[in-house]
Amino acid sequence: MEIIKGIPLTSYILLCSILFSIGAIGVLYRRNALVIFMCIELMLNSSNLLLVAFSRYFSDTNAQVFVFFIMAVAAAEVSVGLAILMMVYRNTKTTDIDALNKLKF
């Protein structure tokens, strides 16, 4: 299982860039607030994967601890975010993100 002999680090950078861009496309493309949350998870995930790849290629344990903390923050973020989403749904009866345009210029 010597992955770092066969796969250059550039492949991982490419993969994570593509995944991050797909997440960004999703945030811009969709109007359902729930799917936008999922796309944010996708972007967090790609950065996590890149941190793990760097930690493996540079033999550094600290990056994996950071990934652990990022996962903790993501879990907390999702719980609060979904509570906010429920609140929005209760008040507007939709999960359409464009229903919340009162602060828009």
100 forms part of the interface with other proteins (CB under 8 A): no
Whole-number minimum distance, CB 81 to other proteins, in Å? 9
Between CA 27 and CA 25 the distance in angstroms is 6
* Angle made by CA atoms 100, 91, 78, in degrees to the nearest 5: 75
47 forms part of the interface with other proteins (CB under 8 A): no
Site for other proteins in 10-39 (CB under 8 A): 10-11, 13-15, 17-26, 28-32, 34-35, 37-39
Selected binder of other proteins within 40, 47, 89, 100 (CB under 8 A) = 89
